[in-house]
Amino acid sequence: MLQIIITLAIYIALVIPVGNYMYHIATNRKTFADPVFNRIDRMMYKVCRIKGEGMTWKQYAISLLMTNAVMVFVGYFILRVQGILLANPNQIEGMEPTLSFNTIISFMTNTNLQHYAGESGLSYLSQMVVITFMMFTSAATGYAACMAFCRGITGNSKGVGNFYEDLIRITTRILLPFSIVIGILLIWQGVPQTLAGTATVETIEGRLQDIAMGPVAALESIKHLGTNGGGFFGANSSTPFENPTIISNLIELYSMMLLPGACVITFGKMAAERKKEKAGNAVAKIKRNVTCFGSQGRTIFAAMSILFLVGLTVCYLAEKSGNPLLAEAGLDQTIGNMEGKEVRFGVAQSALFTTTTTSFTTGTVNNMHDSLTPLGGMIPMLHMMLNCVFGGKGVGLMNMIMYVILAVFLCGLMIGRTPEYLNKKIEGKEMKLVAIVLIIHPLLILGFSALAVMTGAGQEGITNPGFHGLSQVLYEYASSAANNGSGFEGLADNTYFWNITTGLAMFFGRYIAMIAQLAIAGSFLAKRRVNETVGTLRTDNVLFVFILVFVVYIFAALTFFPALALGPIAEHLVLWMP
């Protein structure tokens, strides 16, 4: 437990300066790196003929969708014909059509759900030109949408920004330089970076073994930084070639935690800047400059932290308690449930990695989630169902603000006042859009899960009987809809049914919510500010933090509890109370 506390304390120390740096980029303020990156950005603007003109939310959304569509078509083509292209020393054939569809949608939506093993399913060209490229662009797309959303909600500019400009600035100033540093650190720890083919070696037993290699470190760095999660190898970050040491494990942990947390700080500072400009006096400026998060950002960060810590505690204690069936079989459970875990990480770092990868919607794994105890496996599933516990690529922040607006609306109804957030009235249009965002996620998870257990094609993929089989299905669609990408890997998912249905869940789960959230930002931006009064509900204090957490849990209980009761909860009761 002590190592978990120290790890999280170091994270807090790291996320604050990164959040401040992101705030300067989002608001086009000066940074120490401008002399270098300004030249690069201007060159790219000139080549791509980007004028940097402001966009409305509709123009921003259309630009985002069209850019992503072009990448999808090009990437799909490369995956289909990779067998006849260059950089394919292992002679890997082109992907089957539905698997290509699932893979390209998966990586364009920042999900990285893998129904294939990377070392045997993709050529080096596909790994670099499609997979690694998509990891950069999908992450940059999400963060660009988040920055546009923050501008609209806080009303700090006349428009939501320019998508192409945001995409380039986030890539050149955040993702590329950070990835280079992280990649070098991983190479230092022993992660391979080579274009050589599979190596055949003689083991100490005198037998021959093929060892897959490749440009692993380059993919690993953006895989975590961009909250992507797709591994170069099928075993992901549990294999020593992706995650060899405890130091590399910490590097990967911090990589996937940094930017989602920094987005919250960026939003808080943008909201604080708006209030500072409104106050227009030196006292307010001094007061606003001393805070690291901004009052609104602090509230959201605190609520997310409570949700994260509650989940982490349950997951850790569940795994630490061990498996009673293994204890009955005579296996020592004093160090906890080690099934599916790496000895070099143990229960503590495995529980932390599990909770982090599903809270920050990365999807990378350093242990097998299918081998978690029922309650230990329920936590990552629940956090993907909530999809607002920090989240990845800025989506967690946008989803949490949906809950903020819902909480303000409910509290406003209780006291008989028109609900307001950031001095803007919340009206019917905004609540309808919020309802779309909050309803589409459970609809995709529960709807496709019901379809899977009702049809023969879906049932063929379920390899575990009873309650755990339902947990496998729920986890797969929760991971798809939340754009996470991890899975209970006992599921036989490389079939037409699973490739198509999870592909649709990933697509609709990302773009419907994102467009609705940009529409909310545009609506807020067009509204006139209203003055605060004595009856205005404050959203920057401790009371609202607990209101927000309560609303999130109530929504989850009403929506997902019946399904969870039939899956992991029932499995836990059978395991511990036979």
Mean pLDDT in residue range 282-294: 56
Residues 60-119 have pLDDT tens digits of: 999 999 999 999 999 999 999 999 998 898 889 999 999 999 999 999 999 999 999 877
| Spatial separation of the C-alpha atoms in residues 577 and 34, rounded to whole Å | 62
pLDDT higher at 536 or 38:
38
pLDDT higher at 362 or 282:
362
pTM of the model: 0.94
The answer to whether the beta carbons of residues 236 and 364 sit under 8 Å apart is yes
Spatial neighbors of 480 by CB under 8 A, at least 6 apart, are 111, 113, 444, 448, 502, 505, 506, 509
Predicted pLDDT at 289: 46
What are the distances in angstroms from CA 188 to CA 182, 183, 238, 248, 353?
10, 9, 18, 9, 21
Question: How confident is residue 276, by pLDDT bands cut at 50, 70 and 90?
Answer: low
Percentage of the chain beyond pLDDT 70 is: 97
Closest by alpha carbon to 515, among 435, 433, 573? 433
Which contacts qualify for 532-540: CB closer than 8 Å, 24 or more apart?
532/423, 535/415, 535/417, 536/417, 536/420, 537/408, 537/411, 537/412, 537/415, 537/417, 537/419, 537/420, 539/296, 539/299, 539/404, 539/408, 539/421, 539/422, 540/295, 540/296, 540/298, 540/299
The answer to whether the beta carbons of residues 165 and 55 sit under 8 Å apart is no
Predicted pLDDT at 376: 96
Residues 130-185 have pLDDT tens digits of: 999 999 999 999 999 999 999 999 986 678 999 999 999 999 999 999 999 999 99
What does the block give as tokens for 212? 């897959």
Mean pLDDT in residue range 226-237: 90
Q: Is the pLDDT of residue 279 over 70?
A: no
Per DSSP, 163 falls in state H
The answer to whether the beta carbons of residues 549 and 307 sit under 8 Å apart is yes
The helix/strand/coil state of 492 is coil
**Weakest-pLDDT range from 167-176, 276-285, 401-410:** 276-285
Q: Is the pLDDT of residue 308 over 90?
A: yes
The answer to whether the beta carbons of residues 215 and 124 sit under 8 Å apart is yes
Per DSSP, 210 falls in state E
The answer to whether the beta carbons of residues 308 and 355 sit under 8 Å apart is yes
The answer to whether the beta carbons of residues 54 and 28 sit under 8 Å apart is no
With both helix axes pointing from N to C terminus, report the angle between 374-386 and 542-564 in degrees, rounded to the nearest 10.
120
Predicted pLDDT at 275: 66
The answer to whether the beta carbons of residues 92 and 83 sit under 8 Å apart is yes
Mean pLDDT in residue range 444-467: 94
What are the distances in angstroms from CA 191 to CA 50, 122, 214, 314?
38, 19, 10, 32
Percentage of the chain beyond pLDDT 90 is: 78
The helix/strand/coil state of 60 is helix
| Spatial separation of the C-alpha atoms in residues 224 and 187, rounded to whole Å | 15
What are the distances in angstroms from CA 51 to CA 169, 334, 578?
14, 63, 67
Spatial neighbors of 192 by CB under 8 A, at least 6 apart, are 213, 214, 216, 217, 241
Predicted pLDDT at 81: 96
